[in-house]
Chains A and B, each alone.
Chain A
C-alpha cells in the first residue's frame, strides 16, 4: 500500500526541501559553490555526533556545525590557501572526526548509513515542521535579497558600485546552504544533499531564459523528482534519498538531451 502515513510524511518533508533547494541550488550553480555544499554536508556528520553526544535534536547539531563551517571558510578565505583546499581540509576533517566520535562514544542504535544516505523513516512530525520552517526561511531570504544576490553574482564590482556588499551576500548564501543541509540530512543524507541543490538547477538551465524562470523551474523540477523518487522508493522498497537523486539525474539527462537536440536543430 503506497498511500500510507509514512509516504505522506516523506512526501511533505521532501517537497519542503525541494522548494528551497531549487532556487538556492541555482545560486550554487551560478557561483560555483558546489564544493562548498559538499563540505558543509560532510561537516554535518560531525554535527550529528555532537547532537547525539549532547542529547539535542540532530538538525540543530547539524545546523551548528554547518554554520561553523560557513563562517570558518569565510574567515580563512583569502589568507593564504585557496578556498577549495580549505574546504577540502575542513570537510574531510569534520567527516573523519564525526565518524570517529560516533564510533567512540558507542551510541547504541546509531545507524551511520542513515545520516550518510538519509532515511525517510527518521522524519518525525517535528522534523517536518522544522523542514518547512527552514524552507520558508531560505525562500524568504532569497526573495528578500534577490536583486542584491543576483547583482553580486553577475559582477562583484558592479554590485559594490551600487552600494551592495558582495561579501555579505555571499555569507548569506553560505548560511542558507547550511540551513538547507540541516533540513535535508535526515531525508537524503550528507553524501547526497548537494545533488539536490545542483541537479535540478542544472536541469533547468537549458530551459530558462532568465534567472527567475530558472529558479522557479528548478523548484518545480526538484518537487517532481522528489515525488517520483519517493513513489519509486515505496513501490520497490528502495532507499528514498538515492531514489530522489536518481530521479533528478534522469531528469537532467532528458534536459541535456533536449538541449543537445535543439542545438543540432538550430544548426
Chain B
C-alpha cells in the first residue's frame, strides 16, 4: 500500500522582499516520523517551516497537504502587543473554542499548573510561554507537531525537559514531528531523519549518516562525528567540501 505523505513540497522556492530564501526544495513528511531541520542562521530553515504550515506562499513549486491535515504549529517567536489583554485560557481557545476541561488537561500535559490559565500571556516566562504554545498545538489533536526552534531562550535543563516533554506527547498522540532546531546534539539521536538546509536541502538522512556527510560537516564543522558539531555562525554558503566529492 502506498503511503500518503502528510505534507510534501515539490521544487519549493520562497522569495521574501525580492530575495530568494529557499530554492528547489523537495520534501515529504510521513505519518509518525520525527524530522529535524538544521542549518545555520539565515539558511531558510524557519522559512521552510513557515512555507510548509502555510504561513508563506511559494514563489515557485508547491506544497501539498493531506486533505483534512491538522498541524499543531509552534512558531519561533510570538510577540503579543501589550495593548491586547489575553489570558492563557483565552489564547488556548484561539481561533477554536476549547472546553475548559480540555484546556486544563492540555496545560497539565505540558507540565503547567492550572492556575496559569488566568494569567496574562505577556506575564509568562520564556519557558512557560513555550509550553503554552505547545499546549495550544496539542488542543488541535494534530497529525503533525511543527516546532520552530522551540527551545530558544531556555537554559540547558529547560531544553532537556522540553525535549522529553515533546517525546512523551508524541508517544501519546502518535503524531509526526517536524522540528527546526540548532540544539543538534540533543535533537539528532531522537530523529528518524535530519534535513540540513542552507538555501536548499544540502543533505538529508538518518542522524548517524548525516553527521558523517561532508555537506553537513562543511556546515557544522568536524566535531566528534558531527553529533557534537559546534554551531558556526560565521560561514558563508560553504559547499567547497561537498563540491570536492
What residues of chain A have their CB less than 8 Å away from a CB belonging to chain B?
Answer: 29-32, 147-148, 150-151, 153-164, 202, 205, 208-214
Contacts and interface: CB of A to CB of B under 8 A. Distances in A.
B78 interface: yes
B243 interface: no
List 10 tightest A-B contacts by C-beta distance, closest first.
A147-B95, A161-B73, A160-B55, A151-B95, A157-B55, A161-B53, A30-B84, A208-B85, A210-B90, A151-B94
Contacts of A29: 83
Contacts of A150: 94-95
A194 B118 CA distance: 32
A210 B87 CA distance: 6
Contacts of B90: 210-212
B81 A161 contact: no
B77 to A, nearest CB: 9
A219 to B, nearest CB: 15
B75 interface: yes
Contacts, number: 69
A107 B53 CA distance: 57
Instruction: Please report whether the interface of chain A is mostly helix, strand, loop or mixed according to DSSP.
Output: helix
A205 B95 contact: no
A156 B121 CA distance: 17
Pick from B95, B96, B118 the residue with the most CB of A within 10 Å.
B95
Nearest to B78: A155
Interface residues of B, number: 25
A154 B84 contact: yes
Contact of B87 (A147, A155, A163, A209): A209
Interface of B: 50, 53-56, 71, 73, 75, 78, 80-81, 83-87, 90-91, 94-97, 118, 120, 146
Contacts of B54: 160-161, 163
Contacts of B80: 154
Contacts of A211: 84-86, 90
B75 A155 contact: yes
12 contacts: A30-B81, A147-B96, A147-B97, A150-B94, A153-B84, A154-B94, A160-B56, A163-B54, A164-B95, A208-B85, A209-B87, A213-B85
A29 B53 CA distance: 29
